[in-house]
A and B are shown apart, each in its own frame.
Chain A
Amino acid sequence: MYYLGIDIGSLSCDAVLIDAQENILATSVVPTGARNQEAIARATAEVFRATGLSETDLKATVSTGYGRDRVQSRTAAVTEITCHARGLQALKPDIRLLIDIGGQDSKAILLGRDGRVMDFAMNDKCAAGTGRFLEAMARALQVDIDELGELDNGAERNLTLSSMCTVFAESEVVSLIADGVAVNEIVRGLNRSIASRTLSLVKRVYSGIEGLPVAMSGGVARNAGVIRSLSDALNQAIFVPEKPDTVGAFGAALIAKERMENGKAA
Chain B
Amino acid sequence: MAERSTERIGFACAYTPLALIQAAGFAPYRILPMGDWPDQAGQLLHDNLCPHVKRLLDRAMAKDLPDLSGVIFVNSCDAMRRLADAWRKVRPNDRTVLIDLPATADALSVSFFGKEMERLAGILDEWSGCSINAAEIEDSLFQYGQLARLLSDLSNRNRRGALSGGSTRIQELRNLAVTEPVEQTILLLQQALAESPATMNGQSGVPVFVFGNMLPDPAAFALFETCGVHVVGDDFCTGSRMFGEYEPSLSEPNIFRRMAERILSHPPCARTFDPGQPIKIASDIVNQAVACNAQGVIGHTVKFCDPYLARIPMIREALKTANIPFLFLEGDCSLRSIGQQRTRIEAFIEMLR
Binding site for B on A (CB under 8 A): 124, 162, 196, 200-201, 203-204
Contact = CB atoms under 8 A, between A and B. Distances in A.
A162 B40 contact: no
A204 B43 contact: yes
B34 to A, nearest CB: 15
Contacts of A124: 47
A203 B334 contact: no
Interface string B19-45: 000000000000000000011101100
3 A-B pairs closest in CB distance: A200-B43, A204-B43, A162-B336
Contacts of A162: 332, 334, 336-337
A173 to B, nearest CB: 13
15 contacts: A124-B47, A162-B332, A162-B334, A162-B336, A162-B337, A196-B38, A196-B39, A200-B39, A200-B40, A200-B42, A200-B43, A201-B43, A203-B40, A203-B43, A204-B43
Interface of B: 38-40, 42-43, 47, 332, 334, 336-337
A160 to B, nearest CB: 8
Contacts of A200: 39-40, 42-43
A204 B40 CA distance: 10
A162 B339 CA distance: 12
Given A124-B47, A200-B42, A201-B43, 12 more contacts: A162-B332, A162-B334, A162-B336, A162-B337, A196-B38, A196-B39, A200-B39, A200-B40, A200-B43, A203-B40, A203-B43, A204-B43
Nearest to A168: B340
Contacts of A204: 43
Contacts of B334: 162
Contacts of B336: 162
Contacts of A201: 43
For A124, A162, A203, A204, the residue with the greatest tally of chain B CB atoms inside 10 Å of its CB is A162
A229 to B, nearest CB: 13
Nearest to B336: A162
A204 B47 CA distance: 12
For A124, A196, A200, A201, the residue with the greatest tally of chain B CB atoms inside 10 Å of its CB is A200
Nearest to B47: A124
A217 B193 CA distance: 64
Contacts of A203: 40, 43
A204 B332 CA distance: 22
Nearest to A205: B43
A124 B43 CA distance: 12
Contacts of B47: 124
Contacts of B39: 196, 200
A116 to B, nearest CB: 23
A226 B218 CA distance: 36
B92 to A, nearest CB: 14
A9 to B, nearest CB: 24
B57 to A, nearest CB: 13
Contacts of B40: 200, 203
Nearest to B36: A160
A120 to B, nearest CB: 14
A162 to B, nearest CB: 5
A230 to B, nearest CB: 14
Contacts of B337: 162
A196 B336 CA distance: 18
A196 B337 CA distance: 19
Nearest to A171: B340
A124 B334 CA distance: 23
Nearest to B39: A196
A1 B42 CA distance: 48
A111 to B, nearest CB: 20
A125 to B, nearest CB: 11
A201 B39 CA distance: 12
A196 B36 CA distance: 14
A201 B43 CA distance: 7
Nearest to A158: B36
Contacts of B43: 200-201, 203-204
B52 to A, nearest CB: 16
Contacts of B42: 200
For B38, B43, B334, B337, the residue with the greatest tally of chain A CB atoms inside 10 Å of its CB is B43
Contacts of B38: 196
A196 B40 CA distance: 9
Nearest to B38: A196
A124 B47 CA distance: 9
A189 B254 CA distance: 58
Nearest to B40: A200
A124 B42 CA distance: 12
Nearest to A162: B336
Nearest to A175: B340
A97 to B, nearest CB: 15
A212 B332 CA distance: 33
Nearest to A200: B43
A200 B41 CA distance: 9
Nearest to B46: A124
A162 B40 CA distance: 14
A204 B41 CA distance: 11
A109 to B, nearest CB: 16
A254 B22 CA distance: 67
Nearest to B339: A162
Nearest to A126: B47
A235 to B, nearest CB: 13
